Amino acid sequence: MSLAAGPGRGGGTGRLPEDLELCIEKHVKYIQSLDTRKDELEYWLTEHLRLNGVYWGLTALHLLGRPDALPHRETIDFVLSCQHNNGGFGAAPGHDAHMLYTVSAVQILVTIDAVEELEKHGKGGKERVGEFIASLQNRDDGSFAGDEWGETDTRFLYGALNALSLLHLTSLIDTTKAVQYVQACSNFDGGYGVSPGAETHSGQIFTCLGALAIAGRLDLVDKDRLGGWLSERQLDNGGLNGRPEKLEDVCYSWWVGSSLAMIDRIHWIDGEKLGNFILQCQDIEMGGLSDRPGDAVDVFHTFFGVAGLSLLGYAGLEKVDPI
Amino acid sequence: MGKYSGSETWQDVVPIPQDDGGPNPLAAIAYTEDYSEAMSYLRAVMADNEKSERALSLTEDIIVMNPAHYTVWLYRADVFFALEKDPLQELDWLNKISLKYLKNYQIWHHRQLIMTKIPSIPPTELPFLAQMFEKDSKNYHVWSYRQWLVRHFSLWDDELPYLESLLEEDVRNNSAWNHRWFVVFSRYVDPSAGTGADAAAIKADPEIVAREMEYAKAKIRLAPQNQSPWNYLRGVVKKREGGLAVLRAFAEEFADLAREDEVRSSHALDLLADVYAAEKEEEQAGKALELLARKYDPIRKNYWNYRRGLLGLKEVEVE
Ligand SMILES: [Zn+2]
């Protein structure tokens, strides 16, 4: 799975028609083609994200109604080749084990119904993976690190809860403390940041809400206030931004959209305008979506755009789970 | 001959070529030879857990080619600490690549690790961060690092004048507003105490609250449609006893319901809707929300209508 941008551009070369549709077949082909680009330097320079990219690509294919579009066995083999003896996964073979890629590995295996492969061909069963994740929790403040060097980020906390709940192993961690940490990341504007005191950011709101949803503690959220802030992210062109006074970007269709969906307020943004904005980011000839019209497409924004449309109930797409 | 295969220093190392893990060996990897070669030597030294000068310079070489490669950073930190290298020199090198790769976050984590080895803040540190903000004054990684730095070296007192200069340059810089909150109000909150959720409700020194209210108001007058100081102002008011009503006259400067074509700030209307509702002036509150739904923020009409619903008022039709 190449994570390199291109080859096409969102919006293509000319202006797209107003009554645009999602070119499902093109996007499926685009994602499938990503594995054939190993002769490009960018393929290797983005290796540190590989497993993550596989997850987004795979999920996009599921939403596009083509869950079998990637080769099953090869996907499993690749995932397992990224595992370390400590149970964690790196982004690709030879990369250190890290929370983000361990979460991606679990998500992929669950998506393709292959968790038992951990037992059969991995480095120990799912408990081993769970122990790696649990070992990264700071038992004093509840936060999670990405790796042994201790960088903390609410992304890691959400990832840990997500993966462990998929594996039915949340008992390995202190969920109460984790929830307290999320609370400590809440800000005066109703949003959440990457750590206590850090600026509110749509991506971090998604991770904090996702963690609270998994922990069954969405009752702690002032939904009206947060929903107000999130809906304020929509700009006149229909796109969403991540913070005040920043540019719109297709990825926030997912971060903001799914956050609003988790607190039942997705209708507070103008779905039609957002849908049109996302569709304008397609390359209707070669497939793929970009962050905004005119930029190069990539697998991440392809997922974010498709998932955003799915949240909005776009016809022909599978329904995405906001968490 | 490659840079490494042809070098005296690396004679004894057998490079380990790429194995991408899939069932098909990749015959045709054409990624640039320099990067490929350096990576094969990295695999070799990492396999040996070698902590040496040459390993350190190898990581430097790779990071310059591909700074997002997180494993190289971890290994570099490992080697750096094992050799007890000079942290100031490391910072010097980091400065250069930080200015080149603005979006990278591994750099900032590494910087934080290095900084813990330095007993007091180097005089070059804040000027360097200022240089970073000149390139992008909303860089999330740099702001997060700065918060850590302020707490670590207890730099609280000098932050406000610097922030003032940033807001003078761009009053819409939400990151700077957030940092102001951090410096003024989060200073006394222990981030590890797990009290964050209630932190917003903890009352603050009335003198500071009054000062911050006046500050936000002055900035709003410069750009009434700027949402950051309005959010800040609402947050500050929660730090005092009493409700939002204290802001009524101020908000009415920007939105007079009797002159609905002359509203200068949708945020003022939003605030007034809350003020009127709290004062049991539902009709006025409903009117402010209607103006928002119909005229001043119609893209969020469902939100404004929801707020009307909370007051028992019916939805406004917006075509
Ligand atoms: Zn994006």
Contact: A149, B74; criterion CB under 8 Å: yes
For residues B179 and B159, give the distance between their C-alpha atoms in angstroms, rounded to a whole number: 9
Segment A69-75 long-range contacts (CB within 8 Å, at least 24 positions apart): A69/A28, A69/A31, A69/A32, A70/A31, A70/A32, A72/A112, A72/A114, A74/B22, A74/B23, A75/A108, A75/A112
Say if residues B232 and B177 touch (Cβ distance below 8 Å). Answer: yes
Contacts of B157 (CB under 8 A, 6+ apart): none
Whether B231 and chain A come into contact, CB under 8 Å, resolves to: yes
Please report residues of B whose CB lies closer than 8 A to that of A100: none
> Pick from B66, B70, B199: which is nearest to A96 by CB?
B70
Helix (H, G, I), strand (E, B), or coil: what is residue A9?
A: strand
Q: Over range B31-41, report the average pLDDT.
A: 84
Q: Does A94 touch chain B (CB under 8 A)?
A: yes
> Is the CB of B138 inside 8 Å of chain A's CB atoms?
yes
Beta bridge partners of A83: A89
Catalytic residue positions of B, numbered: 103
Within 10-49 of A, beta carbons closer than 8 Å to B belong to 38-41, 43-49
Find out whether the peptide bond into A7 is cis, omega within 30 degrees of 0. yes
Count of all residues that appear for chain B in the document? 319
Residue of A nearest to B63 (CA): A45
Identity of the residue in A39, A141, A232 whose CB atom sits nearest the CB atom of B30:
A39
Q: How far is Cα of residue B39 from the mean position of the Cα atoms in its chain?
A: 32
Beta carbons of A268 and B181 less than 8 Å apart = no
Partners of B174 on chain A (C-beta within 8 Å) are 199, 243-245
Distance CA B99, CA B273 (A): 45
Asked if B200 lies within 8 A of A184 by C-beta distance, the reply is no
Q: Cβ contact (<8 Å) for A197 and B232?
A: no
Residue keyed to tokens 């607190």: A263
Span B214-238, average pLDDT = 97
Cβ-based contacts of A148 with chain B (< 8 Å):
74
| A46, A4 Cβ separation under 8 angstroms | yes
Instruction: Answer yes or no: do B175 and A245 touch at CB < 8 A.
Output: no
B62-108 residue pLDDT tens: 999 889 888 899 999 999 999 999 999 999 999 999 999 988 889 99
A172-182 residue pLDDT tens: 999 999 999 99
Residue B124 to chain A, least CA–CA distance (Å): 24
Place of tokens 């803040």: B121
On whether any CB of chain A is under 8 Å from the CB of B35, the answer is yes
Residues with beta carbon < 5 A to ion ligand 1?
A 249, 251, 291
Q: What's the gap in Å between A250 CA and the centre of ligand 1? A: 6
Q: Is the pLDDT of residue B31 over 80?
A: no
What is chain A's pLDDT, residue by residue, as a tens digit (323 residues)?
Answer: 777 787 888 876 555 566 689 999 999 999 999 887 777 777 777 888 889 999 999 999 999 999 999 999 999 999 999 999 999 999 999 889 999 999 999 999 999 999 999 999 999 899 999 999 999 999 999 999 998 777 889 999 999 999 999 999 999 999 999 999 999 999 999 999 999 999 999 999 999 999 999 999 999 999 999 999 999 999 999 999 999 999 999 999 999 999 999 999 999 999 999 999 999 999 999 999 999 999 999 999 999 999 999 999 999 999 999 88
For residue B293, the CA-to-ligand 1 centroid distance in Å is: 29
Q: Does A68 touch chain B (CB under 8 A)?
A: no
CA of A26 to the centre of ligand 1 (A): 21
Long-range contacts of B121-124 (CB under 8 A, 24+ apart): B121/B149, B121/B153, B121/B155, B122/B88, B122/B91, B124/B91, B124/B95
Classify residue B240 by its DSSP letter. S
User: Ligand 1 centroid vs A6 CA: distance in angstroms?
Assistant: 14
At residue A6, the pLDDT reads 77
pLDDT score, position B160: 95
The answer to whether the beta carbons of residues B254 and B270 sit under 8 Å apart is no
- Chain A hits for B194, Cβ within 8 Å: 141-142, 177, 180-181, 183-184
| pLDDT at B29 > cutoff 60 | no
CB contact under 8 A, B113 and A77: no
How many angstroms separate the alpha carbon of residue A298 from the centre of ligand 1?
10
- Interface residue B181 vs chain A (CB under 8 A): yes
Asked if A183 and B74 come within 8 Å (Cβ–Cβ), the reply is: no
Range 276-315 of B in CB contact (< 8 A) with A: 299-300, 302-303, 306-307
Q: What is the pTM of this model?
A: 0.93
Contact A196 B22 (CB under 8 A): no
Residue A91's nearest CA partner among A35, A128, A146 is A146
B29 contact A CB<8A: yes
pLDDT tens column, A103-121? 999 999 999 999 999 999 9
**In terms of C-beta density within 10 A (0-12 exposed, 13-18 middle, 19 or more buried), how is residue A11 classed?**
buried
Taking CB atoms and an 8 Å limit, are B191 and A184 in contact across chains? yes
Q: Are B87 and B118 in contact (CB under 8 A)?
A: yes
Closest by CA to A89, choosing from A74, A153, A98, is: A98
C-beta neighbour count of B33 within 10 angstroms: 10
Q: Which of the four pLDDT bands, split at 50, 70 and 90, describes residue B23?
A: very low
Q: Which of A93, A95, A186 sits opposite B196 (nearest CB)?
A: A186
B296 by DSSP, 3-state: which? Answer: helix
Q: Residue A137 in 3-state DSSP?
A: strand
For ligand 1, the distance from its centroid to the CA atom of residue B23, given in whole angstroms, is 33
Nearest to A197 among B74, B191, B307 (CB): B191
Residues 219-278 of chain A whose Cβ lies under 8 A from any Cβ of chain B: 220, 224, 227-229, 231-232, 234, 236, 243-246, 265, 267-270, 273
Task: Answer whether A133's CB lies under 8 Å from A164's CB.
Answer: yes
